[in-house]
Chain A
Amino acid sequence: MLSVNILLFVCLGYVALLFVVAFIVDRRTRRKPIRWLHSSVIYTLSISIYCTSWTFYGAVGSAARNGLEFITIYLGPTLVFIGWWWLLRKLVRIGRAHRITSIADLISSRYGKSPSLAVLVTVIAVIAITPYIALQLQSVTNSYQVIVGGDDGTETAFWIAAGMALFTILFGTRNLDANERHHGVVAAIALEAIVKLLALIAVGVFATFIVADGLHDVFEGVSAETIQGAGDIFGPRWVTLTFLSATAIICLPRQFQVTVVENIEERHVATASWLFPLYMLGMTIFIVPIALVGQSVMPAGSNPDLYVLTLPLAENRNELAMLAFLGGFSSATSMVIVAAIAASTMVSNHIVMPVALRLLPSRAVSGDVRNLLLTSRRFSIAAILGLGFLYFYLSGGSDALAAIGLIAFVGVAQFLPSLIGGIFWRSATRTGAIAGLVIGFALWAYTLFLPSFDGHFILSANVIDHGPFGISLLRPEALFGLDHFDPLVHAVVWSVGMNALCFVVFSSLSTPDGLERLQAALFVDVYKSTTGSASNISAEVADSEDLFVLAQRILGGNPAKKLFDEMAASQGMESGLPHPTDAVVARLERELAGSIGAASAHAMVTRIAGGQTVSITELIDIADETQQVLETSRQLEEKSAELERTAQQLRVVNDRLRTLDAQKDEFLSQVSHELRTPMTSIRSFSEILMKDEQIEDKDRSRFVSIIHDESLRLTRLLDEILDINRLEAGVSKLDLIQIDANDAVHKALDTIAGMTRSAGVKIRTDLENGPLWIQANDDRLRQVLINVLSNAVKYNLAPLPEILVRTSRIDTFIQIDIIDNGGGVPPELSTSIFDKFARGNRTGRNHGAGLGLPISLAIMRAMKGNLTIEVTPEKTTFFRLSFESATT
């Protein structure tokens, strides 16, 4: 047996450790955020407060009683997390955008920041989680008694409740965080999550492999009925339980707290979407073996809820029993801490604050609101644990753990219609939400919650069995004669069903007011909306001074100053308070909402502003207008993009036209210039011949021959111009025949042999073997070759001028390269050399009209070939004629 002293010592030591962790994390975070603490793993571990002592102890009990049914409690959340993209992501986005502090805040915020709805949700939440907290008290009490012995559970439970209350107050209300985030607490519950997982796996391994002889031994001779439970396991109860657990993972105030409120980064949800199901898988993998081993080893009549603890004790493994106790203790404390924090936040924000606001004078709120908030939270925590203890005391603490937990699940499931409807259905109204919640809550209390006291509270045993006033149709567990259900299924069908029905019917019958419509739009379209703030304070009447005082009271001196400095700076002011513009008031309301909830923040800011509000219809109009403006501007953007594209195309075309026009002008002036020179000499020589009678015959015949030569040159020039125009316009079609490129080269070289000889240029050839068939016009190709070759001769200024003519076949191309050793065309001229009347700037012995290359290019193009200037590896340039190879 473990002694009481050791047990208490270990427990206190463990609590002290948690404290140290929370304290250090809180202090370090305030100075500089600790990165790994803001990781998705810590986020996931904090969500695992879903696995309370109900899981730790109760799941084994449930498995021993009802077989695999316990697994539904984890399948529901698994499905919700697998589908995180549709629901959880939106909840987290809304929670961040609107600085939601609790589920009550979310629902009241959505339905027009309604204070009455916030109170209703808070009351339901507190009542609904009371059995759940009682469950934790009961399991810790039971486990304590198992180890220490003793019969009077009530006293033990009282001290445990008191200890937990103290613990939670010290943990959760040390400071009032602006974002309602508790980094220290989250770190501590993450640690507890690891402890409980390790403890349960350790007990599982112990039971499976040490007490029993491996998995085979555990399942040896186990009947299907033991595994699947008695009766139809996969019936309505299976579906109901899965639905309830899926609901609970969203609607339980503490799950909402860790999943939505404490969420630091939205992307953490993605990791949790599979890591949290994996964690639950780890928690439950040994549940069935522990239950089976417990049933075979433990004496008949022992409580299966405590197998996790009694099994190691029966085998005299005190250390393991201690670890198991700590695991259960961790499960219970982490749940109680977060649940109490979440509930106390709701109570202080939605019940205490509005009352205090009403009682305190409007402008001069005396005393520090922060203190009031913290104090009210501390009292709320104590009261919530007190209620839990009361439930434990009244219900006698005899029920199976799972049954108590399910009562809480059905209670919080009442939030589901308002929550889901609120974020997906724009027409959902406050009236609908209130109607659904009231009906659902009443039916839950009547059909499930009150009967759970077995006649010790409000409903007598007689009423439970026979209905009020003996009217059997109103029996709580068989309302209107629906008695062929399991009581749980019955309660869910009635409460959640009627809740959803009333919600839809009353929503469709009622008309939302302005603020409601605005909030509905902001919540349902949260991915489209921007910051999601709706200020409805008339800016002129709000006084910066008053707003500042308000902020100081709620946020505290320094954070308020920081906030106002920031806002002043954003208005471009170096000192002083910011102008109370709409943006400033909206931002302040948002910041305050992070501390005291949207409804209270709205009420306070409105009071400071003298109760003057902009007409809500005006606000809606503004919102609608914004939407319209956004839509119009989107369309305009599309149009202007299209116009821009068209304009761009026009610009390109225009540029080309301009270039062509300039080229044409230049061509004309070049042509005139070229024509002018021979014309001038013809005119001047003919004038001499006409006027001067004394000219000698010798001179006369020389002049006539000059005139003749110039006329020829003129004719040639005109022919060339006509030729190039025809070629470029595609007017003159060339007859293409199949010819051998090598043959053409030989013929061309023969033609200019005289010229090369007289110029002293050496010709070398390097011709590819065999005929190189191309489609070309024989005469025209020779014209091109002669032109290029004669250029190479004329402009070659090397001391020993030399020309290499090379033919080659590359893939399907035939190339004729004409390479001279005169340095080639300078690369910068390689494109302009093909312009009409362009001449290389190599000073030559001879000048042509400058039409040779353009004509050659035009001919080559007309023959579907090309004439290019290529660069050798030695960086000199040469001409290349290329053709497509003709098939033989």
Chain B
Amino acid sequence: MVDNADLQLARRKIRDRSVALLLVGVVLLMPPMVRIAQIDTTVFGLPFALVYLFSVWGLLVVGGAMLARPLRDGEKPAGPPDRDNAPN
């Protein structure tokens, strides 16, 4: 029973992280926060707005890649894996 509870907690943590990642994406890419990109400067010769948007995008990709597998694996025992399965 302890294992089960621990497992459920771990799964919930993963799901929480994925919500957090989504929230970070939405907040950083939507006004008013996205106006950070309007800082008039350059990074290694590139306009800051370009660097900012692509960095956030890249961050989302990396975060998504890190969470994809645990999310997917955590789900398996919870639901019927295929449509032809018996009730679980």
Q: Which residues of A contact B (CB under 8 A)?
A: 68, 71, 74-75, 78-79, 81-83, 85, 89, 93, 96-97, 215-216, 219-220, 222, 224, 227-228, 234-235, 238-239, 242, 266-267, 270-271, 273-275, 277-278, 281, 285, 288, 527, 530-532, 630
Contact = CB atoms under 8 A, between A and B. Distances in A.
Contacts of A216: 45
Contact of B50 (A68, A267, A281): A68
B34 A531 contact: no
Given A78-B57, A82-B60, A281-B61, A215 B29 contact: no
B69 A96 contact: no
A426 B61 CA distance: 33
Contact of B61 (A71, A224, A277, A530): A277
B18 A85 contact: yes
Contacts of B29: 75, 79, 242
Given A79-B29, A270-B72, A532 B47 contact: no
A320 B18 CA distance: 41
B71 A270 contact: yes
Nearest to A274: B64
Interface residues of B, number: 48
Contact of A78 (B34, B60, B68): B60
Contacts of A267: 72
A74 to B, nearest CB: 8
A530 B30 CA distance: 39
A89 B35 CA distance: 32
A420 to B, nearest CB: 16
Contact of A527 (B38, B65, B79): B79
B10 interface: no
A83 B44 CA distance: 32
A74 B22 CA distance: 15
16 contacts: A75-B57, A82-B21, A83-B22, A89-B75, A215-B45, A227-B49, A228-B38, A234-B31, A239-B30, A242-B30, A267-B72, A270-B68, A274-B61, A274-B68, A278-B61, A527-B79
Interface SS majority for chain A:
helix
Contact of A271 (B22, B40, B46, B68): B68
B22 A281 contact: no
Contacts of A68: 49-50, 53
A89 B47 CA distance: 37
A234 B68 contact: no
B81 to A, nearest CB: 8
A278 B44 CA distance: 23
B22 A79 contact: yes
Interface string B7-41: 00000000100110110011001111011011010
Interface string B60-84: 1111110011011001001111111
B64 A224 contact: no
A281 B54 contact: yes
Contacts of A85: 15, 18, 71
Nearest to A81: B64
Contacts of B19: 83
Nearest to B57: A281
A220 B44 CA distance: 11
B72 A82 contact: no
Contacts of A271: 68
